[in-house]
Chain A
Amino acid sequence: MSRVELSRAIKRYGATQVIHGIDLEIDEGEFCVFVGPSGCGKSTLLRMIAGLEETSDGTIRIGARDVTRVDAADRGVAMVFQTYALYPHMTVEENMGFGLRMNGHAKDEIQQKVDEAAGILKLEDYLSRKPKALSGGQRQRVAIGRAIVRGPEVFLFDEPLSNLDAELRVDMRVEIARLHKEIGATMIYVTHDQVEAMTLADKIVVLRAGHIEQVGAPMDLYNDPDNRFVAGFIGSPSMNFLRGTVTADGVEVPGLGRTLQPKVTLPPDGTAVQIGVRPEHLKLTEGTALRVDLTEALGGVSYAYLVAETGERMIVEDRRRERIGMDTRADITCDPGDIFVFDAETEQRIR
């Protein structure tokens, strides 16, 4: 168990810079999730920590050591890959013990550690099988087992659940959470799935285009996003945004055909802004401002897809028993405290 510290970490491929001076601290035993859209550099950042990508500039520290120029094998990290990356010619047991074998550990010590990890992951019955004879979920458990056996200071997960089907993904997510509780090691986890991020993380790092957009606990990001990107990325379905202009009375929103009074310190009159409201904070009411384009019933909850006169689209969570008909007209209300305001140009939050 160790803390991980990045300062001004930069990655360049030739002239193209993909990671722009990341400063980040991950505490001992923390479960940290890197999340962001594809191409945002989250995997690259993880691979820089693993030592699989060279760090062009800046430093990476694990525990007390500066590991920026240290070989992957000597950083005290273990990684779980999206494709599992199990050695196909070795049995489960050999796969899990391979790292220790390469580092010259004694046979009975390897055996003991493999058995221990197999116990934690309930893999005892599969030890003599080859990866080919395992299901996707079992393979991923072996990959996690291989990481545990090495007893690393930091566990790294690179989109480990992306290749699993939906149901298994939920099971494995729970299992990874349980594992973290059980061994309490520092873990860094990369995903593009914000549900995984929200459920697993102690700390979420939202990345976009090689920059950190915001770092914080899951609920902090949800309740208090710094900018429009984070607000839109965290939460499912994502936040609704409508164009508006600041006036003397509040924010005039053409899409709703009225002026809202959000509880924020508004900038000078005439400033272009965007207001954001989460689907779960909106209520459907009688009215004619919006057209119901489509409704989706998921059982306990249904979602109404609304279109404004301006063409802007919104999603409203509807917990009433009766579904609203398609192509009818409706209006929405919400608590003024639930309205977020963002600068239209800089996309920064106006508080």
Chain B
Amino acid sequence: MSNAKSPLQRLNETQSAYLLLLPFLLTYGLFLIYPFFRGVWISLHDWNLLQVAFNPDAKQFVGLDNYVRVMWGRNIEWSPWARPVLQVLGLLGVVASVALNRTRRLTSLTSVALGLAGAALFLISGVHAGEEGRWFDRRFWPTVGNTVLFVGLTVPGVTISALLIAAALNRETRAMSLLRTLFFLSQVLSVTVVTLIWQIMFSPRQGLIANITELAGGSPINWLTDERFAMAAIVIATIWWSLGIAMILFLAGLQDISKDLFEAGALDNCTGVRAFWHITLPNLKRTITLVIILQIILHFQVFGQSHLMTQGGPNDETQVLVRYIYQTAFRDSELGRASAMAVFLFVIMGAFSVVQFLVGREEND
């Protein structure tokens, strides 16, 4: 009787599961797993893009030299007062984590994370080039610093504004759904369009912002070429661009909160801003964490805004990691060194993914 079955019908459940997964696994392996390990492998070589392209034997295994070349220098020293502001901030983080954990204001996992972040800030920012010393790559760490600054400004900006907009738009009227669509619309634009729009907005001659400053009696700022404002300009454009998805996630989270809670709140004399603080925010904790971590992972990969709006300038103020990787690989043809930086970026984002995983697991307990 079994001969009457087609070959597909003879598969058991596990076999058919693998068969159905195969297309995904193939794509995933071919376009993600293989390139990743290939990138790590390249990072261990002195690999000039053009030379290797013409002659596959032109590469040379150099071990971890690329990492040293990128991240280290001559006469590198550590001292507890190399960058006093950042290091004191790091120490304060450690102290705060211990104190908050003692008074049970934070869960143990959160306080450990805060403590580790503080300690890392204290230790890493204490590293500096000593007398007669210099970094092998003077641009790498400032670029990392710019990227971290960009993430540090964009993520809270997106999170807070998306949360406020979502809270304001969480009503079932036609105007509100129209506004929701409008706010989401910027999300579907490509980075070229977004940067173009904001280049016009920031333009000191015809830009909307310049017009407003002039109306208010000020002289227009040249946002994109002024060292003090270039990063801010990129951050503002990015916040506008990536509000939508965070807003949608917050709206979903808001609709998950039972209306009964707000009615109970109304009877407990907790309405308006107080209800937002005491009822909405605590119940949105999971969504907020999710949004923050997704945004961190997303914005560490910033490239287009910096590349198109300021070309990394002025004076490297808006040079970011992915743009530096891109230039090292495709302008300078130093594929090995660029891959080492890419692996560094992967480690940072991987760390945040682990944090997201841990936080998600803790919330489920």
Question: Closest chain B residue to A50 by CB distance?
Answer: B267
Q: With an 8 A cutoff between CB atoms, is B261 at the interface? A: yes
Bound-state CA distance A63–B287 (Å) is: 44
**What's the Cα separation between A79 and B264 when bound, in Å?**
8
Per DSSP, chain A at the interface is loop
- In the complex, what residues of A have CB within 8 A of residue B282's CB? 87, 89-90
Within 8 Å CB of A145, what residues of B?
none
Is A64 interfacial (CB 8 A cutoff)?
Answer: no
Closest CB of chain A to B53's CB: distance in Å?
58
B258, A73: Cβ atoms under 8 Å?
A: no
Please give, as numbers and ranges, the residues of chain A lying within 8 Å of B285 by CB-CB distance. 89
Which residue of A50, A51, A73 contacts B268 across the interface (Cβ within 8 Å)?
A73
- A window 78-94: CB within 8 A of B: 78-79, 81, 83, 85-90
Q: Measured between alpha carbons, how far is A73 from B264 in the docked complex, in Å?
A: 10
Q: How far is the CB of A82 from the nearest CB of chain B, in Å?
A: 8
Distance in angstroms from B294 CB to nearest chain A CB is: 22
Closest residue of chain B to A95, judged by CB? Answer: B264
* Complex contacts, B261 vs chain A, CB 8 Å: 85, 87
User: With A and B bound together, what is the CA distance between A248 and B283 in angstroms?
Assistant: 72
Considering the chains assembled together, what is the distance between the CA atoms of A336 and B256 in angstroms?
Answer: 58
> Does B266 count as interface, using CB distance less than 8 angstroms?
yes
Q: Which residues from chain A contact B271 at a C-beta distance below 8 Å?
A: 71, 73
B263 touches A85 (CB 8 A): yes
Q: Are A103 and B266 in contact (CB under 8 A)?
A: no
Say if the beta carbon of A102 comes within 8 Å of chain B. yes
B331 interfacial contact with A, CB 8 Å: no
Is residue A217 contacting chain B, with contact meaning CB distance below 8 A? no
Complex: chain A residue closest to B257, CB-CB = A88
Bound state CA distance, A78 and B266, in angstroms? 10
Known contacts A81-B260, A83-B260; is A88 also within 8 Å of B267 by CB?
no
Q: How far is the CB of B145 from chain A (nearest CB, A)?
A: 37
Contacting A at CB under 8 A, from B224-280, are 258, 260-261, 263-264, 266-271, 274, 278-279
Residue of B nearest to A89 (CB): B282
Q: Does A219 contact B (CB under 8 A)?
A: no
Q: Distance in Å from the Cβ of B72 to the closest Cβ of chain A?
A: 46
A146 to B263, CA, bound (A): 14
Complex formed: what's the CA distance from A174 to B283 in Å? Answer: 34
Q: Is the interface of B mostly helix, strand, loop or mixed?
A: helix
When the two chains form their complex, are residues B283 and A73 in contact, meaning their CB atoms are under 8 A apart?
no
Asked if B269 contacts A81 (CB within 8 A), the reply is no
Which residues of chain B have C-beta atoms less than 8 A from A74's C-beta?
Answer: 269
Residues of A contacting B267 in the complex (Cβ-Cβ under 8 angstroms): 50-52, 72-73, 77-79, 99
Which residues of A are found within 8 Å of B269, using beta-carbon distances?
73-74, 99, 102-103
Q: Given A73-B268, A73-B271, A83-B258, answer yes or no on A88-B283 (Cβ-Cβ < 8 Å).
A: yes
Question: What residues of chain A lie closer than 8 Å to B260, measured between beta carbons?
Answer: 81, 83, 85
A98 contacts B by Cβ under 8 Å: yes
Q: Which of chain B's residues has its CB closest to A103's CB?
A: B269
Residues of A within 8 A of B264 (CB): 79, 81, 85-87, 146
Report the Cα distance A87→B268, complex, angstroms.
11
Cα A99 to Cα B261 with chains together (Å): 13
Cβ–Cβ contact A99 & B263, under 8 A: no
Seen from chain B, the residues whose Cβ lies within 8 Å of a Cβ on chain A are: 258, 260-261, 263-264, 266-271, 274, 278-279, 282-283, 285
Residues of A in contact with B (beta carbons under 8 Å apart):
50-52, 71-74, 77-79, 81, 83, 85-90, 98-99, 102-103, 146, 150
CB<8 Å pairs between A and B, sample of 21: A50-B267, A52-B263, A52-B266, A52-B267, A71-B266, A72-B266, A73-B267, A79-B264, A81-B264, A83-B260, A85-B260, A85-B261, A87-B264, A87-B278, A90-B282, A98-B268, A98-B278, A99-B267, A99-B269, A102-B269, A102-B274
